[in-house]
Amino acid sequence: MTSKNTKNIGSKISHVLATFFYVGYIPKMPGTAASFITMILVYFLPVLPIMYSLLIVSVILGCGVIVSGYLEKESGIKDPAIIVIDEVAGMWLALLFTPKTIIWYLIAFGLFRFFDIYKPYPISIPDKFMTGGWGIMLDDILAGLATGVIILFFVY
């Protein structure tokens, strides 16, 4: 009985985190919604030293690998649309390089969504060749890095 309860709790925690507190269940464009909510959240947080911000993204990435892999396995669907923790990690990473103004945040949001949806090379590599949590998370991390590099190029 204990193992069933533990599995149930693990499943519930995975659903809550992988869906970014159920944002992934929004019927239309859950990834866009999660990216937008992340953008707003980060905008209103105080500016943190880069090491703390990288630590936050790393924790989201590590947690995301575990819970998204679990949810993918449980559902039997490759990268189910309800998993949006990858968008949270990628968008947060993109915003690390972005000046904290509304216009730059909106530009970063648009670029990130472009890279996440269309997955130009090399962003498409993890999606094509990896499964499980790493496959789900890494394309969004690459989309966030690509966005950040472009923002850095234009700002600095």
Provide the b/e sequence for 104-134 (b: ≥16 CB within 10 Å).
Answer: bbebbbebbbebbeebeeebeebbeeeebbb
Residue 101, both tokens: 């103004």
Distance CA(65)–CA(133), nearest Å, equals 4
Please give the pLDDT value at position 5: 64
pTM of the full predicted structure?
0.94
Coil, helix or strand at residue 49:
coil
Q: Which helix (H) or strand (E) holds 147?
A: helix 132-155
- pLDDT values of the chain reduced to their tens digit, one per residue, 156 residues: 456 666 788 889 999 999 999 999 999 999 999 999 999 999 999 999 999 999 999 999 999 999 999 999 999 999 999 999 999 999 999 999 999 999 999 999 999 999 999 999 999 999 889 989 999 999 999 999 999 999 999 998
Please give the pLDDT value at position 6: 63
In terms of Cα–Cα distance, which of 49, 143, 135 is closest to 89? 143
Please give the pLDDT value at position 143: 98
Domain residue limits, the chain:
33-151
Please give the pLDDT value at position 96: 95
Residue 13, both tokens: 């925690």
